Structure 1
Amino acid sequence: MKIIKSVADLRHERMKQTHKTIGFVPTMGYLHEGHISLLEKAKMECDWVVLSIFVNPLQFGPNEDFTLYPRDEARDLAIAKKIGIDLVFVPGVEEMYPEESLTRVNVRQVTERLCGAKRPGHFDGVATVVTKLFHMVQPDRAYFGMKDVQQVAVITQMVKDLHFPTTIVPCPTIREADGLAKSSRNVYLNQVERVQATILHQSLTEVEQRVQTGALQTASEMVTYVTEKIKSQPLAHIDYVEALTYPRFETFDQWEQEDILLAVAVFFGRTRLIDNHLIRFKGGETYV
């Protein structure tokens, strides 16, 4: 496994990989089972796999502390080596942004709700850094977890609109045995918060059962059901609960037999957790 810190060295190594299928998993490090599942899928499907570890300052808002984001590079590299990753790109901020960047990549519509509304500029930062990484790595396939469903939608739209020769591979959310989605932020939960946080997955999956039986038929009914279930946990403070069409993230009233995304963001203490559930009308992968 090669560990590369410069863009020039990354491009040099990439140029050697002729006639190979290139897989790419971009991360901000502090790897957990969700990231590992992406890396393992990339290893199965591609000849040469690149992992990037970069905490991107462009995705942090003015009230979000970039310096406090969890980091453990040595542990991440040990995980990557065990999986058999071919190259790990670990650039510093000065390597990715050697001078003030005057360019931002903005994807409209799918960034205007959910976390995009709550964290202005966040997805511009995501789209910008992924664009840079795609230009550097030139992957055939890039792997993203559906826990961050809005990120998947943003990157998929960006790749389509800008004609990147890269296939975006959405992968299922990896969960604890009790349903809590794996996340780097889970380490901040105390024991009581951790138990109460299981209400997120529970409430979202219950909605699908009621939608399929006709007990819930409108977006407002779906949102009300999830909201009341989450409020039953005293430590939960809701940031948002929304029901939208997928993948365009449009509002709707009556369910008209289309794919629906139920998405939540909830604080337990100071820890903000996100989760979602995709209701597929015509079947197919739900990524839950």
Structure 2
Amino acid sequence: MTQLISRLDDIAAPYDVLLCDLWGCLHNGKALYPEAVAALQRFRERGGAVVLLTNAPRTRHAVKKRLDAMGLPADAYDLIVASGDATQEAMLSGAAGRKLWHLGPGKDADLFEIIPEWLQDQPPIELVPLEEAEGIICTGPFDEFNDAPEDYRAQFLYAKTKGLKMLNANPDLVVDFGETRLICSGALAALYDEMGGEVLSFGKPHPPIYDFARRELAKIGARSESDAMLAIGDGVRTDIRGAQAEGIDAVFVTGGLETAHFGPDPDAPDAAALEAWLAAEDLHPRFAIGRLA
């Protein structure tokens, strides 16, 4: 049975590492949640390591730049690991060919411009029109405020006919940007998969992002065994299923994407509604919390 908690401090002692999601847990796309920031700072003060584990389809450099602009203190985390990092590694290794059609907004250009030193010996990736492509890299819709997956059906049919593989840089279906819900790369990848196209995904709940995080933890001398980690997230199909598959205990933040299921107060989820909903979803996070604090 999932234990409903009100503070991370109450259950954090057995864990050495936090894998903390960003959107819906640490911020809402526009502003940080001060209580969540303070919870991460307290975890680090007692000697723990914090990994900001995000399905952002950009590299950690772009994520850090955005977090810096939002005012996240440097003492709230140790590492940033993004779905974009794991996707970039596969892309540069030629997982979908060298000539790629980029489906996504220009803000994701760092995937092609900021190349880690250890990958700089790989042959370059050429971004080309769909008609010339050997594969697709999808970081989201071109216009995340107005486009829908169905807008891309014709292009996906053409790509599927050509046998193009899609690298999906963000398995999230949607994200809340303030009060606005936007579709993500995962929604486009789901349509391509439904149409019979081949999709490779690299963020939560898929193994590559966890493998990447473990390698980064090893570099700073932190533990990377599953029993040393605690995952925090509001995405049941990404954060929670991913942690479950990796054997990592999880804290489900109910006041994020799924808040409508648990009563009128996001800070105080209804325990009976929560338990029934988790059972119906066949999810078993060890803990749940209204909002990270």
TM tier, shorter chain? Answer: 0.3 to 0.5
TM (norm. structure 1) is: 0.36
TM (norm. structure 2) is: 0.36
